[in-house]
Chain A
Amino acid sequence: MRTSKRLFLAVSLLLIVSTVIISGCAGAPAPTPTSAPPAKPATTPAATPAGAPQPTKAPAATPAAQAQPAGTVKIGAAGPFSGQLSKIGQDSLNAVKFAVDEINAAGGVGGMKIEVVEGDDGADPAKAATVAEKFGTDSSIVGVIGPMTSGAVNASLPVYQKYNLVIISQSATNPNLTEQGFKVMHRICPRDDDQGPAAAMFIAQDLKLKSVYLLDGKDTYSAGLAGEVEKKLKELGVTIAGHDQYAPEDKDFSTLLTRIKSAKPDMIYMPDPDPSHAAMFLKQAADLGVKAKFMTGEAGYEKAEFIDKSGGAAEGAYLTNIGPILTTIPEAKDFIKNFTAKYGGMSVFAGQSYEATKILAEAIKKSIKNGKVSREDVLSAVHNTKDYKGILGAPIGFNDKGDLVSGTIFVYQVKNGDFTQLKSVSARGR
């Protein structure tokens, strides 16, 4: 009895201590100014004429001049920072914060410091809409990076539009998003119908493969991309050896791979949003002796997660991305070095988030008038971004819909444990 009691005490102590340590560890790399409580700006709707009953702040009636507390301006960061997709979510959040820290360290934008407000949506569209409403009502927020998943963007777009609050998504690739006429929508990632057809053309015309087995993880990203690839491949006369789905939480691909093995495709196309997941797949494929070539989407563009974790199985794999290899771009060198030093790794979404944040900051800078920033100005400044040269290696600009002007897709192959650029393909205007 007594000994067991002591054991319990020891265990509980261990638990507590480890919790403290864990939170301590995590606390260290996140010294952003966010920890300050959300400053209530003086211009909450209560400041409007008191006599007029006004149930809520009417967005259209938001006064154009939004006075900021001297010296700060806020941007929102929306995305799945918890749950299954937090792998990509947190990476992006870190990149946003990283960019903001850099900007603030360099004196901010036009003398104003930027502050990041986090909005975790857990990839749930309903929560994303709530986050949008929250960002929208906080009139000191002038722009938003995210949401990251297409479902979240879909649900929250009307709300952002209501508040005229510009968003730049770093990873929502569903073509529909920019086709609905929402002016606030922008994204800094390839549309599925840019990337997919480009990949398909490369498979059919450059590699001249005859049959492809498609896989998707039942999420908007991979299902959308695999769907576009399939469409184009059929058009180009390539046999679809099969199209199967797995769940994002699946670890065991042996049943799937056994099936693929017997279908004997020339190539497997699997655009998983989590590169380590794709690496795991490749490893199991090697174990089972599956010989087909492999191609994935831009999410695989992370050496540590994709190439290193595959234990060599990724050698020879292909992938597509919107820009050239980040490591070869001089502008990205510092970012990569500092970011990985701080957070230990970097996904393709981190680069895109960083770039998006910088673009937004640039737009804010342009919109400062008399120490004030209005959402309308930021929106039009973002919209008018042309030939922005950041770390992605390709000039960034938005078209009318809010898509990237350039639809050029770069194809890479893993050679000797790193990415080698093969060629660039543009499928736009097919």
Chain B
Amino acid sequence: MGKSGQLEQPLLRLTEVDASYGPVKVLQNVSLEVGTGEIVALLGANAAGKSTTLKCIMGSVRVSCGAIEFCGRTISSLSTTQIVAAGVGLVPEGRRIFTRLTVQENLRLGAFVRSDRNAVEQDLARIYGLFPRLAERRDQKGGTLSGGEQQMLAIGRALMSRPTLLCLDEPSMGLSPILVEAVFEIIHGIRREGTTILIVEQNAEMALSVADRAYVLQSGQIILSDTAANLLSNDLMRRAYLGV
């Protein structure tokens, strides 16, 4: 895939998206694509606009101009509920599980938009199979879990909506190096099951190690986009983000 190789029918496509908070512009002219079955990483410093991009995709921040298409359908005017129902799942930054709800309740909420009860029960069993630790603690309050377990729960919860596209916002944040590796293992596993993944990361090195392609955001604009392998050897990239 070339540097700006247009995908035939990308699963997700952002075209020249702008977004702002009040008078402060946070995204300018952001275009990106995620193909079915890919892992795409969105890199950049804090406050570069990575999380805002995810929020635009999720419909919680409105784009002021530009379009977002998912499965060939424009979603930039849909509500978050509709977008989730359409098949986009998000694992938010800092995990943000519901600490006062039990593990099981957390997971069930993940399937909030679904009405196929039996399938939901099957998925629940599947998630517990994927994360046995969660099965052990299904009746505990989310707040009693350790950081790593909470991250598992957040991922499991997002999977409960059976997303076609799973967005992960800083999954490595605040985790020890050893846990970060475990999380990225899981991400690999999820992709193997056929879910497309968009991952936002500050830890560029780690993200590039799992991603197929990546985009680099700086001050709300995409300044680089390429395959992960190429970016790992890109000079600018190495200087600014890889700390080499």
B-binding residues in A (CB < 8 A):
1
Interface size class of B (residues with CB under 8 A): under 10
Q: Could you tell me the distance in whole angstroms from the C-beta of B157 to the nearest C-beta in chain A? A: 23
Interface of A is mostly: loop
Taking the closest CB of chain A, its distance from the CB of B79, in whole angstroms, is: 6
Task: Give every chain A residue within 8 A of B81 (Cβ-Cβ).
Answer: 1
Within 8 A of A (CB), among B38-91: 79, 81-82
Enumerate chain A residues within 8 angstroms of B82, measured Cβ to Cβ.
1
Expressed in whole angstroms, the Cα–Cα distance for A1 and B82 within the complex equals 10
Residues of A within 8 A of B79 (CB): 1
Tell me which residues across on chain B come within 8 A of A1, comparing CB atoms.
79, 81-82
B contact residues vs A (CB 8 Å cutoff): 79, 81-82
Q: How far is the CA of A240 from the CA of B35 in the complex (A)?
A: 91
3 A-B residue pairings within 8 Å (CB atoms): A1-B79, A1-B81, A1-B82
Residue of B nearest to A1 (CB): B79
Q: Give complex CA distance A1, B83 in Å.
A: 13
* A5 nearest CB across to chain B (Å): 11
Q: A1 to B84: give the CA distance in the assembly, Å.
A: 14
CB distance from B225 to the nearest CB of A (A): 35
Task: State the CA gap A165–B201 with chains docked (Å).
Answer: 80
Nearest Cβ distance between residue A223 and chain B, in whole angstroms? 50
Pairs of residues from A and B, 3 with the lowest C-beta to C-beta distance, nearest first:
A1-B79, A1-B81, A1-B82
Q: Report A260 CB to chain B, min CB distance, Å.
A: 47
Q: How far is the CB of A220 from chain B (nearest CB, A)?
A: 51
Residue of A with least CB distance to B78: A1
Cα A1 to Cα B79 in complex, Å, equals 9
A8 to chain B, nearest CB (A): 15
Measured CB to CB, the closest approach of chain A to B72, in angstroms, equals 22
| CA A1 to CA B85, docked complex, whole Å | 13
Minimum CB distance partner of B81 in chain A:
A1
Shortest CB-to-CB span from A4 to chain B, Å, is 11
Separation of A1 and B81 alpha carbons in the complex (Å): 9
CA distance A1 to B77 in the complex (A): 13
CB distance from B52 to the nearest CB of A (A): 23
Q: With both chains docked as a complex, state the minimum distance between the C-beta of B85 and any C-beta of chain A, in angstroms.
A: 11
Nearest CB in chain A: distance from B83 CB, A: 12
Give, as a whole number of angstroms, the nearest-CB distance from B36 to chain A.
28
B82 to A, closest residue via Cβ: A1
Q: How far is the CB of A3 from chain B (nearest CB, A)?
A: 13
B84 CB to nearest A CB, Å: 13
Shortest distance between the CB of B134 and any CB in chain A (Å):
32
Bound CA–CA A375/B79 (angstroms): 70
A211 to B67, CA, bound (A): 86
State in angstroms the CA–CA spacing of A85 and B82 once bound together: 53
